[in-house]
Chains A and B, each alone.
Chain A
């Protein structure tokens, strides 16, 4: 898929995100917008997934995902992004996005497996657990001699969790070179800039010290750079080390008043703000 097509999809995904959060007046638009390019690139270009469709016309989803590349979202609060990409990719009806965070919905505030929403393999939201789960899946792929890849996205604030570093130690120990982690290094968390809340210092140096291959992604909101970084990761697979992409991104990217601040981490836009946001995001695939 061409970069221009990916840009168009990412724009629609961003429209979905602000509309979803607006509709229920709750959720996390900032990080969702910031990671929209990466997750779009993963699902629409990079990952090999089962393309067969069921009678309902939607992509068939198997939780075990044998023979498929698999994506895990560790920072589950950016669920609007995850749900939008899954729906746009064809796992379930785009119209279902309107139920986000509402009663009796399959689109829980944070991703959950209980509602059997196709595309979700593990619950996330309590931070710090995704890398461990992804490492377990990568380990299982090795056991099964399944040569596909496991991708996992984490936040940078999430790197403050101790479990991350347990997993960061585990993956190189078992040479999980089929594991590609992405840290969304947007330098914002709920209480403010990450270095002020709890300085992560040099995340890249930490991962290298733990035995990971690292890739710098200087602008996670430039789809050319994003796809280049993912292509680089592919070249590092099978070389004995797990791979981490340090992705600098801009929280709230695509909506000017949501950028350069932590204030839109978990805040919903009002009617006027929604209109202003949508003005900045071209509609490409049709709103639900």
Chain B
């Protein structure tokens, strides 16, 4: 098992803020929009340096998406930002018509996704957004794993032409990827090569997969770990290759089991190379209030649960 260490924990949303600050210097066409959540989205640095390229939209997300589409029609690269809950379900129709179907180059960048939002509870803990955005034609869907990768993804998205959904979170999580990485949209990252089981994870569950891999190593199990930061387009080649080698798969995500990464992997495998799969995710329930750590444990989104599913899926080979 390859060694991964982290020296600090940081929130992925700060990675987005740092990426935007960088884009403020790099790309004069990048414009940021926000719906009254500037501090939450870590946009302060971008706004300070580029006040003319920030559009405060107030608590009016539908209009924000439309304004972003208008800016994109005019050649700008707008990043429309809010909480994941309000940047997906609340404005699904606006994204569908004015962004995806219109082919406007709008980046929807959303924070506070998933259970790890914590104490605010289920009203704000969107767990269905990846499913919605995956289902939408022509939408690129990105869910990076740590601060550095979120920053790299933000910068990469400004170069990518087309609608995209970039999802990140509030809590601090280990920073373990390279600070100067090249982010390739749609290209999976092989975290660890192994032969016994494929653990395919996304977002901060990638770190939990690494921890699970270390636990499994002690049991003599050699896990292959793949970071799928781009849910769509899915790196089908990497997944099929890994499944062909290990013959069993565990998926892990902070999302509903319905419609997320696990579903995408199952669809791919069942059509190409039927393989036993076990899935980590929230199973058809809403979240609740609690600390992020408590919620991760209660809903089984951690290394221990991944190990459990690995044992189960290996017995199904």
List residues of chain A with CB under 8 Å of any chain B CB.
63-66, 112-114, 121-126, 128-141, 143-144, 162-163, 166-167, 169-170, 173-174
Contact = CB atoms under 8 A, between A and B. Distances in A.
A163 B66 CA distance: 9
A129 B74 contact: no
B104 interface: yes
10 contacts: A65-B73, A66-B75, A112-B101, A126-B96, A128-B62, A133-B70, A136-B78, A143-B53, A167-B66, A170-B67
Contacts of A114: 101, 103
Contacts of A139: 55, 67, 70-71
Given A129-B93, A136-B66, A163-B66, 11 more contacts: A65-B73, A125-B97, A132-B69, A133-B73, A133-B98, A135-B67, A136-B73, A140-B74, A166-B60, A166-B62, A174-B55
Size category, B interface = 20 to 34
Which 4 pairs of residues, A with B, have the shortest CB-CB distance?
A136-B70, A132-B66, A140-B74, A166-B63
Contact of A163 (B73, B75, B94): B94
Chain B contact residues, majority secondary structure = helix
A170 B98 contact: no
Given A64-B75, A166-B62, A169-B60, A133 B101 contact: no
A133 B67 contact: yes
A129 B103 contact: no
A123 B70 contact: no
Contacts of A135: 63, 66-67, 70
With a 10 A CB-CB cut-off, give which of A63, A122, A137, A173 has the most chain B CB atoms: A122
With a 10 A CB-CB cut-off, give which of A131, A137, A173 has the most chain B CB atoms: A137
Contacts of A133: 66-67, 69-70, 73, 98
Nearest to A116: B103
B62 A132 contact: yes
A64 B94 contact: no
A136 B67 contact: yes
Contacts of B96: 126
Interface string B41-64: 000000000001101011010111
B66 to A, nearest CB: 2
A132 B72 CA distance: 12
With a 10 A CB-CB cut-off, give which of B69, B74, B97, B102 has the most chain A CB atoms: B74
B97 A129 contact: yes
Interface string B148-171: 000000000000000000000000
A59 to B, nearest CB: 18
A129 B60 CA distance: 12
B249 interface: no
Given A113-B102, A123-B101, A136 B94 contact: no
B65 interface: yes
Given A114-B101, A123-B101, A170-B60, A140 B69 contact: no
